[in-house]
Amino acid sequence: MKIMLNAKGWQIFEPQTTLSGYNRPVNEKISSGFRKIAIAPHPSLPEANKEAYKIAQFLKQQGQESLMAMLYEEKLVQSIEKHEIDLLIVLGGDGTMLRAGHICGPYDLPILGINAGRFGFLMEIRLNEWKQYLPRLLKGDFWLEKRMMLYCSHKRNGLELSTHHVLNEVVVGRGKAVRPVHLETHVDGRYLTTYVADALIAATATGSTAYALAAGGPILPPELRNILLVAVAPHLSIDRGIVLAEGSSVRVIVHTDHDALLCIDGQSPIPLIDEDQVDVCAAEHNACFVRFQDPGYFYRNLTPHMNRNPATGIPR
């Protein structure tokens, strides 16, 4: 299957043995369907920056226009908002991929992840493999995986203070004090329960292998569009994860006499006070990942990660 960008958007073509233009010599310039490709390395990873420059040079040699910038750099964000970018290549770890999802999700912009970190569960290729895969990218020899994102709203006294697009999870929980918070939880407008816990996680299928998994939640295939609720250290409360139907909405009302926090995808926490409200539902947009592996990659990659956590940096 080939995926190419044209005036009608992303189009899917079934593979053909004699497809015109797809049997060029490797060293011949390739004319892709991309107008401009952005390259964003993690700023604190020297090797990622070094390879990003090499990728930019490679794309230039192929006649492909590109833009190199750091994530959240103004020129990159503005180019994405203006729909001037057709693909974002990020070099880093899973945190980099999450940040890329926040930026690109609202614009349905595809992301190719190149792993320059330790874990890289969301990334598609290793740092030393891009020379092998970028020619395939330019030929349209890939598929797009769409993953559901969440939309989160933080309200206080009926006033909306902030909104967020979420790829992994929304966490509502205690702050520095080692004391549980009371989290009154409603699903689709109906009261579910009040958790007395360190935190409550509302996760996507993508986030089911992150914090929710560490808290004892189930693993969901990435194509599912469900919301997963998992309590962290619940005391005399529901201690099993709950998988909600697609389209469900969750409301969490915080009851506490000490500090509490809202955390989105592991970013800097947002302070919560008593009676603050956090609403979570499926976002209108998806995170869109470029994949070269067959769709069965998820389970194939899951087992090695479960047997040894790469984040420890300890060789087996």
Sequence-ordered list of residues with C-beta below 8 angstroms from that of 299, at least 6 positions apart, any chain: none
Q: By three-state DSSP, how is residue 77 classified?
A: helix
| H helix intervals, the chain | 46-61, 74-81, 94-104, 130-139, 211-214, 297-307
Q: Is 94 labeled as catalytic in the residue annotation? A: yes
Quickly count: other Cβ atoms within 10 Å of residue 275's Cβ.
13
Q: How far apart are CA 202 and CA 252, in angstroms?
A: 10
| CB burial readout 199-210, b (16+ within 10 A) else e | bbbbbbbbbbbb
> Considering only CA atoms, which of 276, 180, 271 is closest in space to residue 233?
180
Sequence-ordered list of residues with C-beta below 8 angstroms from that of 313, at least 6 positions apart, any chain: 118
Asked if 110 and 102 touch (Cβ cutoff 8 Å), the reply is: no
> Considering only CA atoms, which of 74, 69, 78, 5 is closest in space to residue 38?
69
* Active-site hit among 94, 265, 276, 279: 94
Q: How far apart are CA 36 and CA 76, in angstroms?
A: 12
| CB burial readout 91-104, b (16+ within 10 A) else e | bbbbbbbbbbbbbb
What does the H/E/C string look like for 139-155?
HCCCEEEEEEEEEEEEE
Q: By three-state DSSP, how is residue 11 classified?
A: strand
Sequence-ordered list of residues with C-beta below 8 angstroms from that of 138, at least 6 positions apart, any chain: 30, 32, 34, 62, 64
Q: Report the catalytic residues.
A: 94
